Structure 1
């Protein structure tokens, strides 16, 4: 199986015109193994446990004291904005005032509290947009005083807070449209509301909804390829078909494209639990650009736009893998890198940060990667909702 998974790590789309022109990969048969229930147990960092990076890189704790740190963006004044996705969640502003690469007492400010599992964040003009599980709101935001005015709901999502509850926000490069990703309610059940398992876009005030892509089971990490208007998304796929099905993926998003859920996956591989229901959609399912391992639970993607890492990393994609529960032997709990050239994947998926999982056969892990942020100095920030802290990855020349 290992050689098959290696072959699956890179799939570059051969045509931009029709999914049928893109070769679908060979995948294991459904139910090739029993479906496992193997959730992790998060423990304190074991004595001697070390995080591993390529030569020349280092990692240090940047901030701590959170409940469930998740998504990160920069604010207008260089502050880092962080969503803490507890049931009564918060959004924080972090300012490293003394520039010692660590958030200390007095450098963390709570902007707002009592939110319903906040995740996605976006800045547009003098507004901060916050995506909760059941609502997208925007607030007038004064970044100099780090204060919010009363918010207004612009996209109601009442009744859609169950299942995949994270919502990612992203403005287009011109700041004209707001993109929103919403995951499915169920694993593979047809008939859900049209907003589920989709990427949509809106005017900045929440009007004018348009569907960009559908059939994306949980399109949680969205990013623009640098210098272009090409949207990429990291997507969590379904469970229950065995250890090596269905692979998560990272792909460029085609306008109006259908990506399979819940009738098929990774091209026209028909979902056996919905067999025969929508052969028309099975036939048009797009093959994604990059196929990851099954069940790694990809949670964020960022293209590297900094200058402090070696040249081979520039323009490539970093992905945070939260880690598996539906696999007999644990996978994920890491950050991976995908090299790019001329706007396309140019090599296999590489391990970049590992070590949170010391033994894939053990239930115990001591960290779970979630969010990524390329910092202004070129370092890479990682949120970890296992250890409930932020980590800063730097390169030393």
Structure 2
């Protein structure tokens, strides 16, 4: 009985391969938009279509409740893209309308009721009253967070929590490559903070002084996401360039880019929340063989780039990096530049855009990948070098960065379809399964359950009793149903 029930759940929830798809594509599109450069290379079972082109550096994207795709065109402002939807992957741009003309550069978010639009410049976060029926703002911008003016990294990523209504997460990067000011927690540099938007006054929050700190020592965490099953907060960090150690240049393959875990906003306790993640003194290993004075360094471990002193006089070395700083949950190859992370609604996959390298002799990145999750945690162990599974990449990466697409923002529409912006080419892509089913319906990148994992968790992330203490959090009803079925004896 239990086995039959489990099989029914699998067909219902995870139907992506070898069975009838949940949705199917309509007839072939009557018109298509050719990519600006070569067509992308796609993993088996996936397809990508250009739905809009000719845009001005599209960065952050989000759908409103009426199906308008709102996008930040860097330096231009926020625009609304009305889409012609013929079903499946047959979606095309119909009309582009300016919503806010201002010097906005990346961040965009909507309140849970859809009536407040948030956007960011390099210096501040603004709030606008918003009418989704007409895709327009109905008020001037109000500054809700300020005090972020500095050079270097200027993207201020925004995320409204779905677990705790009214909490707005804001990420601020470093001033330059190696920012000494980031060692001082009071500067606000290289941090992620949460601000309560339900009690904003006429005096905006000061980023350095106010808000709940989720982490510091984060060089440039452009992508921030809330895992839907547990409410865990994750970010993807762009690590440093031109790194040396013991007088040796090791920048080609070190340090690695990072996926970091920052605890929860829903009251679940975590010993990671608010702590120091290492920058600018500690970095994640990607290729240990090229690091001098290597004492048992492995992928994902933190290492120091020299004997450094903090503002408090503390000397930072490998031992302190590994024992007193928070290591990444996963590490990716150096210089891939992750810019966004979005979970599918079931929490089984984290989609990550890798904008691509500049500080490397051979290009790397320029692709869209997924990381498999279960129970709020990646299924791969922290020392894995294969956690990111490529779905969409440039067919000839040697053409990058000048003649290729460069992924930036991700957004789900109400039908579970995944859209992606490419700033370098001014395009919006739709990524879907080849059978016409939306990307959100996929359980894993291959469409199959791996042979060495269960449905709810993987051995690498699970404790002895099938729990994940480090990432434990409240389970949503559907995950609890599956867990209960797994606990039944099979006949």
- In the superposition, the TM-score normalised over structure 1's length comes to 0.79
- Are the aligned partners of 2:58 and 2:71 in contact in 1 as well (CA < 8 Å)? yes
SS in 2 for 1:191: helix
Structure 2 residue aligned with 1:286: 326
User: Judging changes above 3 Å, is the alpha-carbon distance between structure 1 residues 288 and 91 closer, same or farther for their aligned structure 2 residues?
Assistant: same
Taking a change above 3 Å as real, the CA distance of residues 114 and 357 of structure 1, as seen in their structure-2 partners, is farther
2: distance between equivalents of 1:147 and 1:269? 48
| 1:396–1:191 distance in 2 versus 1, CA, 3 Å | closer
CA deviations 1:202-260 (Å, max 9, x no partner) are: 11025452211100000110111112221010111001122011111112113112110
Aligned alpha-carbon RMSD (Å): 2.2
Aligned to 2:22: none
Structure 1 SS opposite 2:411: strand
Q: Measure, in 2, the Cα distance between the counterparts of 1:320 and 1:285.
A: 26
The DSSP-based 3-state class of the residue aligned with 2:42 is coil
Find 1:200's aligned residue among 160, 171, 193. 193
Mapping of 1:229-268 within 5 angstroms? 229-241=231-243, 242-253=251-262, 254-266=272-284, 267-268=301-302
| Corresponding position of 2:383 | none
Could you tell me how far apart the structure 2 residues matched to 1:158 and 1:215 are? 16
Partner Cα separation in structure 2 for residue 158 and residue 183 of structure 1: 9
Query: Does the C-alpha gap of structure 1 residues 390 and 356 become closer, same or farther in structure 2, counting only changes over 3 Å?
Result: farther
CA distance 1:77–1:382, change in 2 (3 Å): same
Aligned residue in 1 for 2:169: 179
Give the Cα separation in 2 of the matches to 1:386 and 1:151: 28
Structure 1 unmatched ranges of 5 or more: 1-43, 307-313
Residue 187 of structure 2 aligns to a residue in which SS? coil
**Cα deviation code 1:308-349 (max 9, x no counterpart):** xxxxxx621111001001111110001111111222212422
TM-superposed deviation, 1:95: 2.5
The residue aligned with 1:358 is 397
Aligned with 2:149 (options 152, 159, 177): 159
Unaligned runs of 5+ in 2: 1-34, 244-250, 263-271, 285-300, 381-386, 436-491
Cross-structure match for 2:415: 377
Name whichever structure is richer in strand by fraction: 1
Instruction: Tell me which of the two structures has the higher relative contact order, counting C-alpha pairs closer than 8 angstroms and 6 or more residues apart.
Output: 1
CA 288–50 in structure 1, closer or farther in 2 if over 3 Å, else same: same
How many residue pairs match? The answer is 339
- 2:355 aligns with 322
Residues 363 and 379 (structure 1), Cα distance of their counterparts in 2 relative to 1, 3 Å cut: closer
User: Where do residues 1-397 of structure 1 align in structure 2 (5 Å cutoff)?
Assistant: 45=36, 49-86=38-75, 89-99=76-86, 101-105=90-94, 107-125=95-113, 126-148=115-137, 149-157=139-147, 159-160=149-150, 162-173=151-162, 174-192=164-182, 194-204=187-197, 205=200, 207=205, 208-241=210-243, 242-253=251-262, 254-266=272-284, 267-272=301-306, 275-277=308-310, 278-279=314-315, 282=321, 283-305=323-345, 315-347=348-380, 348-355=387-394, 357-359=396-398, 364-397=402-435
Q: Pick the structure with greater CA Rg.
A: 2
User: Does structure 2 conserve the Cα–Cα contact (< 8 Å) formed by 1:84 and 1:119?
Assistant: no
Residue 98 of structure 1: CA displacement? Answer: 4.6
